Structure 1
Amino acid sequence: MRIITGKYKGRHFEVPRSFKARPTTDFAKENIFNVLRAYLDFDETRALDLFGGTGSISLELVSRGCPQVTTVEKDRQHFSFISQCQRTLGDEAWNPICADALRFISRCAQPYDLVFADPPYALPELAELPERVMNSGLVKEGTLFVLEHGKTHDFSDRPDFLEHRAYGSVNFSLFRK
């Protein structure tokens, strides 16, 4: 897993083969971050990475200068790996939390500028995530929500939908409060 750009550009972290989750491909990650640059100034963005998986998105956010990045991951092996990456970088802006993302959505009242979610594509609640996130305490006026999902989901009928991007089999839907 490679960091594409920013202060940690080129750093590699070896994801254990036993992981169920795989990092977002470099191609998809680079392209979605190019899109996000049009919406956000990373130096002023407080970001939340739900379903952190390997921590790939969080690594990129920290590298690009976000002053606060919170990663939520419930799988203990994945959380341990994410925590190890954070310790390796020694970056105080990054705060990994071992918790269930769906519970975190319903309980957290701290708003973020960017909420990124990369749930398992087979998650039964995936279709409800835009509703849950956009009506939670995680968002405020102007918050950008990015949902990574498979091609079977279409969220374009939502009033807060901004755009959809597809990079191979990886799809992103963007929403704004």
Structure 2
Amino acid sequence: MRIISGLHKGRRINAPKKLPARPTTDMAKEALFNILNNTYYFDDISVLDLFAGIGSISYEFASRGTTQITAVDQELGCIKFINETAESFEMPIQAIKSDVFKFLEQATLKSTIIFADPPYAFPIEEFSKIPELVFENNLLEDDGVLIVEHSKHTDISHLENYNYSKSYGGNMFSFFSHPTTED
């Protein structure tokens, strides 16, 4: 895996094979960040990376200048790897070992971008809990976006606050945001 852009562009990250992670492909990451680059100044936002795995999305944000990044994963090995890599690259990533759903139930942290990359094999009920908890607990800033990565075979377009999806190979990103109010 490599960092696509920013200060650390081209740097390779070699995670131990034993870690239970499925990093977002370079092609999908590049496409996602092209979308986000048209909406956000990365140095002005805060990011919550859920089911962070080895931290590939967190590293991309940090490389682009984001200074408020929280990565959450329940696997201690993944959290240790993120901490070691962030320290080595001098990246401002706070890694937290926690079950994501418990974290979302107790969190008070508001973020501009919340990225969730749960296991592709999750049942639809588990996928639906992510936007449900994010919006119920008001964890997304008003101009923010929740992005859920999933397989193209999983349809979550019926969930509340869904906006649209983009497909890249077998990966799909579904975007959720606060409803817009017209004056």
Q: Give me the TM-score of the superposition, normalised by structure 2.
A: 0.90
Tell me how far apart the structure 2 counterparts of residues 56 and 78 of structure 1 sit (CA, whole Å).
Answer: 11
1:100 maps to 99
1:149 maps to 150
Structure 1 segments of 4+ aligned residues over 4 angstroms from their partners: none
Tell me how far apart the structure 1 counterparts of residues 165 and 65 of structure 2 sit (CA, whole Å).
Answer: 25
2:49 touches 2:114 (CA, 8 Å); kept in 1? yes
Give CA-to-partner distance per residue, 1:25-64, whole Å, 9 cap, x none: 1001100111111222111110000000010000001001
SS of aligned partner of 1:142? strand
* Greater Cα offset, 152-161 or 59-68: 152-161
Tell me how far apart the structure 2 counterparts of residues 23 and 152 of structure 1 sit (CA, whole Å).
Answer: 18
> Alpha-carbon deviation of 1:156?
2.7
Correspondence 1:114-129 to 2 at 5 A: 114-124=113-123, 125-129=126-130
> Alpha-carbon deviation of 1:22?
2.1
* Greater Cα offset, 158-167 or 17-26: 158-167
Correspondence 1:4-153 to 2 at 5 A: 4-91=4-91, 93-124=92-123, 125-153=126-154
> Alpha-carbon deviation of 1:151?
1.9
SS of aligned partner of 1:17? coil
> Alpha-carbon deviation of 1:123?
2.5
> Alpha-carbon deviation of 1:172?
0.4
SS of aligned partner of 1:143? strand
Q: Give me the TM-score of the superposition, normalised by structure 1.
A: 0.93
Aligned-pair identity in percent equals 38
SS of aligned partner of 2:140? coil
2:83 touches 2:93 (CA, 8 Å); kept in 1? no
Q: Which stretches in structure 2 are left out of the alignment for 5+ residues?
A: 179-183
Tell me how far apart the structure 1 counterparts of residues 134 and 140 of structure 2 sit (CA, whole Å).
Answer: 7
1:127 touches 1:153 (CA, 8 Å); kept in 2? no
Which one-letter code corresponds to 2:84 in the other structure? Answer: Q
Q: Which stretches in structure 1 are left out of the alignment for 5+ residues?
A: none
Tell me how far apart the structure 2 counterparts of residues 33 and 66 of structure 1 sit (CA, whole Å).
Answer: 13
Aligned residues: 176
- Aligned CA-pair RMSD: 1.4
> Alpha-carbon deviation of 1:137?
3.4
